[in-house]
Amino acid sequence: MNIVKEEAKKLIDKLPDNVTWDDIMYELYVKKKIAEGLKAAEEGRVVSHEDAKKRLLSK
């Protein structure tokens, strides 16, 4: 079985019985975004805190 599908099933199984579709979608979205962030960090696609601050303050 695909690892993404397995992870999604585990995540859903951990949610309470009264979960809504919106709750499930939110949890999957957050998990996806965290995974993307960790991958970016592993690949060195990150910006230092100082650089981020400069970018935000220059606008």
| pTM strictly above 0.95 | no
pLDDT digits (tens, 9 = 90+) for 17-49: 999 999 999 999 999 999 999 999 999 999 999
Query: Cβ(24)–Cβ(12) under 8 Å?
Result: yes
CA atoms within 13 A on the CB side of 12: 11
The dihedral formed by the CA atoms of 29, 34, 39 and 43, expressed in degrees to the nearest 10? 130
| Residue in this structure with the two tokens 């981020």, named with its chain if needed | 52
pLDDT at 1: 79
Tens of pLDDT, residues 5-20: 999 999 999 999 999 9
What pLDDT does residue 4 have?
Answer: 92
Residue 59's pLDDT band (cuts 50, 70, 90): confident
